[in-house]
Amino acid sequence: MSDKKQKNPQIEVRTFNWGPCVIKLKIQDNFKKALLNEIKKSAENYNDKLAGQIEKEIGYTEESREKLIPFLSPYLGVYDQMFQKYQGKMYDSKPEYALTALWCNFQRQYEFNPPHDHGGVYSFVIWMQIPTSYAEQRKLPVCAESNADNHISNFAFSYTNTLGKVSTFAYNMEKEAEGYMVMFPSQMLHQVFPFYENDGERISISGNINIEKKES
């Protein structure tokens, strides 16, 4: 697999050549702080929208989403430019985007999310707290003899490559991944594998972005 990496003083961007346009960005501390502050004000149960088995999931209120849009906009702008280049088609005018859903998962051991997609145009996940180490998880008895040891505890995409083969790419869940965001097309299949022998809580925040039609 090859990739390209670009940097500026505020955002680190990594674009992959292995399939659909996906980028990884380091979010700023003020954005992370705002996400954590706003989730404390939200109490909407989101489990009825959950594809998998995670007991605790909280949705952000509409008011909180509105407050967080200014923090999200610079990252969306970076991804939007990369996605247009990937498609080979630039917009005639800048679309108007809406943060249609935002929620926080508190994943504990054994819990998981099976392959699923999202609504909207773009989606993202931000890893806020990771109590496990993938390098340690893959050594556990439950995984040690598996031929899929690159999946345990990880976040992974599934996609059809240029040869028509269904492939998987996993992001290793290590402490170093905290504070990183991955943005991707909403219809892209992804999943979260369970972790084991750890009583900690993995906190991640996900959201969906749609294009709002401009009034003529």
Q: What is the pLDDT of residue 108?
A: 96
CA 17, 21, 22, 26 torsion: positive or negative?
positive
Q: What is the pLDDT of residue 181?
A: 95
Cβ neighbours, 10 Å, residue 108: 16
Domain holding 59, by residue range, is 9-212
Residue 3 lies in a domain: no
Comparing CA positions, the residue from 16, 2, 24, 20 lying closest to residue 159 is 20
Residue 45 lies in a domain: yes
Q: What is the pLDDT of residue 118?
A: 93
Residues facing 124 on adjacent strands: 183, 207
Q: How far is CA 10 from the centre of its chain?
A: 19
- Torsion, Cα 27 169 137 59, to 10 degrees, reads 50
Distance CA 25, CA 147 (A): 30
Q: What is the pLDDT of residue 183?
A: 94
Cβ neighbours, 10 Å, residue 186: 16
Q: What is the pLDDT of residue 9?
A: 42
CATH of the domain at 108: 2.60.120.620
Q: What is the pLDDT of residue 206?
A: 95
Residue 180 lies in a domain: yes
User: Nearest 5°: phi and psi at 96?
Assistant: -100, 125
Contact 183, 25 (CB under 8 A): yes
Q: What are the residue ranges in the chain where pLDDT is below 50?
A: 1-2, 9, 216
When divided into structural domains, the chain yields a total of 1
Secondary-structure percent of the chain, ordered helix, strand, coil, rounded to 5:
25, 35, 40
Q: Calculate the alpha carbon distances from 130 to 2, 48, 95, 112 in Å.
A: 26, 24, 34, 14
Tokens 């996900």 correspond to 206
Q: What is the pLDDT of residues 184-196, one digit of tens each?
A: 999 999 999 999 9
Tokens 């890893």 correspond to 127
Residue 91 lies in a domain: yes
Residue 27 lies in a domain: yes
Distance CA 215, CA 155 (A): 38
Instruction: Give the pTM.
Output: 0.87
Residue 2 lies in a domain: no
Residue 4 lies in a domain: no
Among the residues of the chain, which ranges form H helices?
A: 29-39, 62-87, 134-137, 141-144
Residue 1 lies in a domain: no
Q: Calculate helix-pair angle for 62-87, 29-39, nearest 10 degrees.
A: 140
